[in-house]
Chains A and B, each alone.
Chain A
Amino acid sequence: MKKVDLREKVLTANDKIARKNREKFSETGTLVLNLVSSPGSGKTALIEETVKALKGEYKIFVITGDLMTENDARRVARHGVDAVQISTGDACHLNARMVDARLTDKGTLYDLVIVENVGNLVCPAPYDLGEDFKVLLVAVGEGDDKPVKYPPMVRASEVLVITKTDLVPYTDSDPARIKANALKIRPDLKVFQVSVKTPEGLDEWTSWLSSRLKAKKQTAQGK
């Protein structure tokens, strides 16, 4: 038996495509978000509100990932922005190649690309899509200790959005506890609390996003 010393990262192929995606987006100053959460935490609803608030000022493209159906892309497209669905069949996460195939050529025409990953708090964590950052959503009522139960996803995310805060009176859930649990895993997380119904916190979220969009655009123009 001969031993071949390899030391090769298993996700090298994915990471290469992700790097290529990221380079293209940084040339045009396109901000790319990768939304991750359990199924049902409100990713699509947050995207709808984000799109409504920002579509006047920015060109937005949305990619939604699910195993089956085009429901989410249709929901988003109603708001007059370009949206495409990735139906993964059985796959539990999106990878960089899927994003590249739908996007890279025209993705650079947009200011903001929002990728809604498959609802899953485990598998999307190690897959870089070429995004600027992952946004983790945890809904009120899904378990305040969710962040400490799924540390790799919290570690991989830069932003936490606690959703459905309008449900607080009807549950034993406390957004402050969700936040504290998440900060135990990643103390530098940027945290928002939103409700798409009331609409608490949405302005704060969209203005922050808008400032990140401008910053990215400026960096690209400065090159």
Chain B
Amino acid sequence: MHELGIATQIVGVVTRVKEENSADRVGLVTVDIGLLAGIDRESLEFCFEAITKGTALEGASLRIEEVKPVGKCRKCGEEYEVRPDDFTCSACGSTDFDMITGSEISIREVEIESDEEG
């Protein structure tokens, strides 16, 4: 259940963005979650909703963009899609790779709205 901790961090960052921009409301919050980041999507959605309810972020919604894991093989240099249950390089069969994408937990974009535009 570290999704609660992750959701809390997201809420902290979004609250900061809202205040910095003197916004009145937050709309869609888009996050990139790598499929090898060890985050359960449903738990994160649940936690985000639970901890924003009744707060200044009420009404904000979370959009999770899943990022496919891509690795660069340390043996042959091939870049290939790493399946969460099978890390084998599609070119040479090695499982020794550097992760290029797939472990990220990051906030891509926040939509904010102010009553008086200006």
Contact = CB atoms under 8 A, between A and B. Distances in A.
Contact of B106 (A3, A9, A93): A9
Main secondary structure of the interface of A (DSSP, over half): mixed
Contact of A184 (B6, B95, B108, B112): B95
B76 interface: no
A195 to B, nearest CB: 28
A43 to B, nearest CB: 18
A126 B109 contact: no
A11 interface: yes
Main secondary structure of the interface of B (DSSP, over half): mixed
Contacts of A5: 108-109
Contacts of B113: 1-2
B56 to A, nearest CB: 16
Interface in A129-167: 148, 151-153, 155
Contacts, number: 94
B5 interface: yes
A4 B12 CA distance: 15
Contacts of B87: 151, 184-185
A122 interface: yes
Interface of B: 1-2, 5-6, 9-10, 12-13, 17, 21, 23, 27-28, 31, 36-38, 84-85, 87, 94-96, 99, 103-114
21 contacts: A2-B113, A3-B109, A6-B108, A7-B107, A8-B13, A10-B10, A10-B105, A11-B9, A12-B13, A13-B12, A14-B9, A92-B1, A92-B2, A95-B5, A123-B1, A125-B38, A126-B2, A127-B2, A151-B87, A155-B99, A186-B95
